[in-house]
Amino acid sequence: MPYRRTLPVCGHGSKRPIRRPGTCAATERTQKGNRLAIHIIINPKSGSGFRRDTLSEFRQALRAGGKETVEYITRCAGDGTRYAASILDQAEAVVAWGGDGTVREIAAALAGSPVPVLACPLGTENLLARELQIPGDPERMAQIVLGGHTKDCDLATANGQSFMLIMGVGFDGEVVRRLASVRRGHITHLSYFWPIWRTFWEHDFPRIRVISDGQEIYNDYGMAFIGNISRYAVGLRICRDAQFDDGLLDVVVFTCQEQTRLVLHAAWTLLRSHPLKGNVLYRQLPRLRIECDRPVPSQIDGDVGPNAPLDIAVQPGRLKLIVPRHRREASIWPWRGDSE
């Protein structure tokens, strides 16, 4: 049986361990003669299910490669952050066994540490795993962990809340807010149908003001996206030129006040031509502020985010990601899968 660790009570996890100045967690732990383990943090609510068989194969492949594993099942929002913070001096690496929200929770604890994280494609969208071309096959995922190849990833904050993928303000935030209000467990792409349908017909587009370094760069009705990666839901590349390690955030604001304009924006985005349109703002910025004519909802990495006004900034190279040593060039066609 695999070793599973639990924290005493949800919401009261272990405190971050204290280390001697100038030593990283891995170095100090090795000096004590104890082996570091691969910690697998499991979100049982991610996507459409737990996938126990896949987890068993993944665990066996890691052990065949000589690695010890520890598994932890989260029990509530924020539990992944608390657990990851408690094992910084015990982990060789952390595996996010879930979706993008699970990765975001873990990243909040690992930011600035030498402990890398693997994003598994086990949620609904799996934007980061797809961006990094992490396969869903458990043995191939294990080989990526055993390979030990890492890259530094930028993080971002919005009103103090961390995110690492993409943030939506306005229409996108309202869709996620509606979904969160009725979500009771696992979700699929179909779960988004009614929230999107209702928001499409009922959404009142806010007036958005974007400020960068004290200068107003946008002031009109619409919806905004701030991305650290290019990928968005169903393969769309809203932040088309975004890279997770360039120290910048891609800011996209679609001028929009009616449903017909929204449909046109979606069509141009599908063709990846939207940055060329005159009614779309596309900038790459290290920081910005977004103000609206009312408290407009946002989403961060697929979860409910803070309401506007929003102060957003990038934090370059704050997280170490475990990635494949060789990555394929992305297809120019947004509707083609990445597992081909």
Q: Where are the domains of the chain?
A: 3-149, 161-318
| Nearest-5° Cα angle at 155, 268 to 100 | 65
**Residue 250 to residue 282: CA distance in whole angstroms:** 7
* Residue-level pLDDT at 77: 85
Give CA angle at 102 (7, 169), nearest 5°: 130
Under CATH, to which class is 3-149 assigned?
alpha beta
Low-confidence ranges of the chain (pLDDT < 70): 1-34, 47-50, 184-189, 192, 234-235, 265-278, 327-340
List C-alpha distances in Å: 144 to 38, 119, 124, 138: 13, 11, 22, 10
Residue type, 11: G
pLDDT recorded at residue 180 = 78
| Exposed / middle / buried, residue 125 (Cβ in 10 Å: 0-12, 13-18, 19+) | buried
pLDDT at 276: 53
Residue 271 confidence (pLDDT): 62
pLDDT recorded at residue 200? 82
pLDDT of residue 273: 62
Pairing relationship of beta strands 150-158 and 69-73 according to DSSP bridges: unpaired
Which CATH class, in words, describes the domain spanning 161-318? mainly beta
For residue 38, the model assigns a pLDDT of: 97
Token pair listed for 159: 């009103």
| DSSP-derived pairing of the beta strands 166-169 and 37-42 | unpaired
User: Phi/psi class of residue 173: alpha, beta or left (left: φ > 0; alpha: ψ in -120 to 50)?
Assistant: alpha
In this prediction, residue 233 carries a pLDDT of: 72
Q: What is the pLDDT of residue 189?
A: 62
Looking at residue 11, its pLDDT comes to 43
pTM flag (> 0.85) = no
Q: What is the pLDDT of residue 226?
A: 96
Contact partners, residue 231, CB within 8 Å, separation at least 6:
127, 130, 131, 165, 166, 237
Which among 258, 272, 264, 194 has a CA at the least distance from the CA of 221?
Answer: 258
Query: What does the longest C-alpha to C-alpha distance in the chain come to?
Result: 64
